[in-house]
Structure 1
Amino acid sequence: MKKTILILSFLFLLISCEKPKNENILQGKVENEQLAIVSKVPGKIIQLLVKEGDLVQKGDTLAVLDIPEVDAKKSQAEGAVISAKAQYSMALKGATANQIKQLEAKQTGLKEQYEFAQKSIKRLGNMLKDSLVSQQMYDETFAKYQGALAQYNAVQAELDEARKGARTEQQTMALGQQDRAYGALQEVETANKERYVIAPQDMSIETITLNLGELALPGYTLFNGYISNSTYFRFTLQESQLKGFKKGQEITVSIPNSNTKIKGKITTIKQLGAYGNIATAYPDYELQESLFEVRVTPLNISETKDLITKTTVTLSL
Structure 2
Amino acid sequence: MSEADAAPAGRKAPLILAAGVAVLALIALGLWLAWRPAPDQLQGIVDARELRVASKVTARLAQIHVEEGQQVTAGQLLATLDSPEVAAKEAQVNAVVDAAEAQASKAEAGARATEIAAAEAQWKRAAAAADLARVTFERVNRLAEEGVVPGQKRDEARTNMIAASEAARAARAQYDTALEGARREDKRAAEAQANQARGVAAEVAIAAAETKVFAPASGEVGRRLAQPGELVGAGFPIMYVTEAATPWVTLIVREDQLGGMAMGREYSGTIPALKGAQARFRVTFMVPAGDYATWRATRQSSGFDIKGFEVRLAPVKPVKGLRPGMSVLFDWPQ
| TM bin (shorter chain) | 0.7 to 0.9
1:297 and 2:284 correspond: no
Query: What CA distance in whole angstroms lies between the structure 1 residues aligned with 2:42 and 2:163?
Result: 107
Aligned residue type for 1:308 = R
- Using the TM superposition, name which of 104-113 and 165-174 deviates more: 104-113
Quote how far apart the aligned CAs of 1:273 are. 4.0
What's the RMSD between the two structures over aligned residues?
2.0
Aligned residue type for 2:327 = T
Contact 1:236 1:293 (C-alpha < 8 Å) held by counterparts: yes
- What secondary structure sits across from 1:257 in the alignment? helix
Corresponding residue of 1:75: 91
The alpha-carbon distance between structure 1 residues 122 and 296, as it changes in their structure 2 partners (threshold 3 A), is same
Q: 1:217 aligns with which of 227, 233, 238?
A: 233
Quote how far apart the aligned CAs of 1:229 are. 3.0
Query: What CA distance in whole angstroms lies between the structure 1 residues aligned with 2:298 and 2:39?
Result: 16
CA deviations over 1:241-295 (Å, ceiling 9, x no partner)? 22342322111122122232221211222223435xxxxxxx9874821012221
Q: 2:208 aligns with which of 178, 184, 192?
A: 192
Contact 2:296 2:307 (C-alpha < 8 Å) held by counterparts: no
- What secondary structure sits across from 1:233 in the alignment? strand
Corresponding residue of 2:291: 272
1:163 and 2:182 correspond: no
Query: What CA distance in whole angstroms lies between the structure 2 residues aligned with 1:148 and 1:248?
Result: 97
Query: 1:6-85 residue pairs with structure 2 within 5 A?
Result: 24-85=40-101
Q: 1:308 aligns with which of 323, 329, 333?
A: 323
- What secondary structure sits across from 1:86 in the alignment? helix
Query: What CA distance in whole angstroms lies between the structure 1 residues aligned with 2:199 and 2:158?
Result: 57
Contact 1:229 1:305 (C-alpha < 8 Å) held by counterparts: no
Query: What CA distance in whole angstroms lies between the structure 1 residues aligned with 2:164 and 2:279?
Result: 102
The alpha-carbon distance between structure 1 residues 232 and 68, as it changes in their structure 2 partners (threshold 3 A), is same
Aligned residue type for 1:262 = A
CA deviations over 1:183-234 (Å, ceiling 9, x no partner)? 1111111111111112111121111111111111112122223124320111
Query: What CA distance in whole angstroms lies between the structure 1 residues aligned with 2:120 and 2:94?
Result: 37
Contact 1:100 1:162 (C-alpha < 8 Å) held by counterparts: yes
The alpha-carbon distance between structure 1 residues 138 and 304, as it changes in their structure 2 partners (threshold 3 A), is farther
- Using the TM superposition, name which of 220-229 and 79-88 deviates more: 220-229
Query: What CA distance in whole angstroms lies between the structure 2 residues aligned with 1:284 and 1:83?
Result: 71
Corresponding residue of 1:261: 278
- What secondary structure sits across from 1:53 in the alignment? coil
Query: What CA distance in whole angstroms lies between the structure 2 residues aligned with 1:308 and 1:247?
Result: 23
Corresponding residue of 1:152: 168
CA deviations over 1:124-148 (Å, ceiling 9, x no partner)? 1222222222222222222222221
1:121 and 2:121 correspond: no
Quote how far apart the aligned CAs of 1:167 are. 0.9
Structure 1, unpaired ranges of 5+: 1-21, 276-282
Contact 1:62 1:198 (C-alpha < 8 Å) held by counterparts: yes
Identity across the alignment (%):
29
Kindly report structure 1 stretches of 4+ aligned residues shifted beyond 6 Å: none
The alpha-carbon distance between structure 1 residues 219 and 253, as it changes in their structure 2 partners (threshold 3 A), is same
Aligned residue type for 1:264 = F
Query: What CA distance in whole angstroms lies between the structure 2 residues aligned with 1:62 and 1:273?
Result: 40
Quote how far apart the aligned CAs of 1:91 are. 1.1
Query: What CA distance in whole angstroms lies between the structure 1 residues aligned with 2:277 and 2:141?
Result: 123
Q: 2:247 aligns with which of 231, 252, 277?
A: 231
Structure 2, unpaired ranges of 5+: 1-37, 300-304
Q: TM-score, normalised by structure 2?
A: 0.80
Quote how far apart the aligned CAs of 1:117 are. 0.7
1:110 and 2:129 correspond: no
- What secondary structure sits across from 1:213 in the alignment? coil
Quote how far apart the aligned CAs of 1:41 are. 0.9
Contact 2:130 2:168 (C-alpha < 8 Å) held by counterparts: yes
The alpha-carbon distance between structure 1 residues 183 and 151, as it changes in their structure 2 partners (threshold 3 A), is same
- What secondary structure sits across from 1:274 in the alignment? strand
Aligned residue type for 1:201 = A
Contact 1:202 1:227 (C-alpha < 8 Å) held by counterparts: yes
Query: What CA distance in whole angstroms lies between the structure 2 residues aligned with 1:73 and 1:156?
Result: 47
